[in-house]
Amino acid sequence: MYKFVWILSMLLCANAWCDKALEKLVDQIQNHYDSVNTLSAKFEQTYESVRFENKQKASGQLTVKKPGKMRWDYQVPKGKVLVADGNTITLYDPKDRQAIVSKQPKDQGLPAALSFLAGKGNLKKSFNFSWIQKPKDDTAILKATPKSPEPNIKELELTVSELSHPLIVSTAVLDELKGKSQITFSKIRLNTKVSDKTFAFKVPKKATIINQ
């Protein structure tokens, strides 16, 4: 009888939160970012894929304001901008002199990995979690697997520091083509004053606008 109960409990744990420390940390992350209205940070991004011989690199400044506003100003490649203003998403690339503009749905508009930062996502509703690295030296690494299919996301890794008030200092997205996109954040500032004008992007006159 005891053996049967033990086996049953293991089967149930496959679909439930059996690691209370893990569940607590995910709740702490969610609660902390629920209290954040604005976020700004420097970012460094890398992308590795079998499609590219060399690692692709980018860097710049990220600004986020709830609800649903986000702006990525790239220093490398210089002049590239990605803006979500709550109504539209605009990707401008000066190299191509092209701006791709699409409507931002009210319910989401951004992948779950990014919409969470903009106040439109819930970690526990969107992902199943497990440890990659349990808390050590005030840092932990979590693996998040989407509960529902996510475009270009097979698996998400979150590196979290300052665990009493958890800060996401790095995200890594693994896609279906075995590519890995990693973003590392530094100089993170929370709840500073950010004007809505920050997210008002005017496409340069000579750029071609592609509406999707």
Predicted structure pTM score: 0.85
Average pLDDT over residues 171-185: 92
Which stretch of 95-99, 110-114, 124-128 has the lowest confidence by average pLDDT? 110-114
Token reading at 50: 């079998």
Pairwise CA distance, residues 169 & 139, whole Å = 10
Residue 21 Cα distances to 66, 120, 142, 209, angstroms = 29, 25, 12, 48
Q: Say if residue 96's pLDDT is above 60.
A: yes
Q: Which pLDDT score, from 0 to 100, does residue 150 have?
A: 79
Q: Say if residue 115's pLDDT is above 80.
A: no
Q: Say if residue 4's pLDDT is above 50.
A: no
- The larger pLDDT score, comparing residue 143 to residue 153, is at 143
Pairwise CA distance, residues 43 & 138, whole Å = 21
Average pLDDT over residues 79-86: 95
Which stretch of 73-77, 87-91, 104-108, 123-127 has the lowest confidence by average pLDDT? 104-108
Give the DSSP H/E element, type plus range, for residue 94.
Answer: none
Is residue 118 within 8 A of residue 69, CB to CB? The reply is yes
Q: Which domains does the chain have, with CATH numbers?
A: 22-211 (2.50.20.10)
Q: What is the mean pLDDT of the chain?
A: 87
Q: Say if residue 126's pLDDT is above 80.
A: yes
Asked if the bond preceding 135 is cis, omega within 30° of 0, the reply is no
Is residue 172 within 8 A of residue 151, CB to CB? The reply is no
Average pLDDT over residues 168-175: 93
Token reading at 100: 């791709």
DSSP 111-137: -HHHHTTTT---HHHHEEEEEEEEEET
Summarize pLDDT for 51-67 with one digit per residue, the tens: 777 899 999 999 999 98
